Amino acid sequence: MRFPNSPLFKRWGDNLTEDQEVAAQGLFVQYGYNVYLSDQLPLDRSLKDTRPSRCQEKKYPHDLPTISVVLIFVNEATSIILRAITSIINRTPSHLLKEIVLVDDCSSHEDLKEPLEEKIKRYNVKHPGLLKLVRHQRREGLTQARISGWKASSADVVAILDAHIEVNHGWSEPILSRIKEDRTVIISPVFDNIRFDDFGLVPYIEAADGFDWALWCLYESVPGDWYALKDETAPIQSPSIMGIFAADREFLGAIGVLDGGMNIYGGENVELGIRTWQCGGKIEVLPCSRVGHLERAHKPYLLDLFPAMKRNALRVAEVWMDEYKYMVYYAWNIPLENPEVDFGDVSARKELRKKLNCKSFDWYIKNVYPNLVPQTNIVAYGTMKNTLSEDICIDQGPVPGNTPIMYGCHGYGPQHVFYHSTGEIYVGNLQARRNAVDRCLVDTGQEEVPFLEECNEAIKKGLSMHWDFRQGVAVVNRKTKRCLEIVKDQGASYFRLVLQNCTGQKWTIQHTVKDWGSKGTAG
């Protein structure tokens, strides 16, 4: 094996020659999935039906709304796009499938130019007028590509998908039937995983879609009231939505499609989820609609998504999250005053919200997403330094593990510290969700070093988790009276965190809330 460390060859490729290995690895590095294998697989390959058994027995009316399917791509492998198209044609009733709209967000690969257009023409000979191609003349990003697809679509319902998918058996009828019942529902299918190496289909269990306070997408457990129905075909209420969804085309337009002010990638689907609920719609996941989604082993483009995600998250916060927007600032470690992040002009989106008479984010949390828990007592946050050494910061340390350390300051999540007016110190990425507990800094009273303990467990165990602190002074445990300090052992080149009798060391934290920590305001 010429590439023993490549994940491509862990499950696949035993019978390849050296030349074939080199070719396969080169394509894998370029695309993040196994293009060498994809080019050999049939475009109309069979897929295991992953629907629950009752879904397979379910019957739907013949006279359902028509559907336009939008496929977004940039520098995708041609065989992947063609397999997506083929699966849609083969597994969508022809009287319901009005068109497939391909949106090319300014690909640079030559095979996606004239050669792709020739292939589209061949499809349209067999299926007249079925395929449309929309090309961006410059790279506009995922959100704008989806908006372009919506604009080019003309059916009753629009499904906006990635191009690296394969729809499964009976995927469209549950969507169209549910939207016929209620045109204000935006639907997510259940995603199954198409493995990047051998293209095996791995069924995923049903889940709702959610997000954390940084507005990163995540899966949520299915609500208990869904299980109480004892009907595996029933829609699952979801607080948010992932990037693949279907909606009544006119309803989606009426509530503002997607936020065209978003940059490149990230946040647009969370914004859609919040806006849909607050503005009179609802989000549901349909267990009977299954779409296989090809997971890349690595993204070969735009490796650092953080700047775009941060900017987009602030757009969502400023327009939709009202008095809770500060939680997004905390989660991204951005100062509340003068954030120095240009999130663009949001006036049109605020006007849209006013025009639609949308509900508040407080309503959304209480009625749709109670798993999000706002933190009202945080008074200081960000990186935390000792004045003895300004280039190192408190860090959560190795994970798994519960021992915080001092480490060179980088300011990412492991070094986020949150000090509460009630005395707790959270260390690490802010969770603030009911089923994902934050970790508190504790003094056991026995050990020389501090520990991180899940805050609810620290309360149960009666651990010393409350600290007195003001900007530029000592950090003192209220119960043990020991100070959080740093020491350098004899012969060592680095500082470590300890708990000891106070020697007068001082700490500073990066951001404060309002005037906390100024002279005369105790923590």
pLDDT digits (tens, 9 = 90+) for 405-459: 999 999 999 999 999 999 999 999 998 888 888 999 999 988 999 999 999 999 9
Cite the residue boundaries of each domain of the chain with CATH code 2.80.10.50.
Answer: 378-512
Span 329-385, pLDDT tens digits: 999 999 998 888 889 999 999 999 999 999 999 999 999 999 999 999 999 999 999
Cite the residue boundaries of each domain of the chain with CATH code 3.90.550.10.
Answer: 33-294
Contacts of 378 (CB under 8 A, 6+ apart): 330, 418, 419, 420, 421, 513
Which CB contacts under 8 angstroms, 24+ apart, belong to 481-488?
A: 482/443, 484/441, 484/450, 485/386, 486/386, 486/388, 486/389, 486/392, 486/406
Span 270-320, pLDDT tens digits: 999 999 999 999 999 999 999 999 999 987 655 567 788 899 999 999 999
CATH number for domain 33-294, candidates 3.30.360.10, 1.10.620.20, 3.40.1170.60, 3.90.550.10: 3.90.550.10
Check pLDDT > 70 for residue 523: no
Residue indicated by tokens 């906006």: 160
Over residues 237-247, the mean pLDDT reads 95
CATH number of 378-512: 2.80.10.50
- Distance separating alpha carbons of residues 77 and 38, to the nearest angstrom: 9
Alpha carbons within 13 angstroms on the beta-carbon side of residue 229 total 12
The phi-psi region of residue 396 (left if phi > 0; otherwise alpha if psi is between -120 and 50; otherwise beta) is: alpha
- Distance separating alpha carbons of residues 89 and 127, to the nearest angstrom: 9
Over residues 129-135, the mean pLDDT reads 98
What is the model's pLDDT at position 520? Answer: 43
Over residues 8-14, the mean pLDDT reads 94
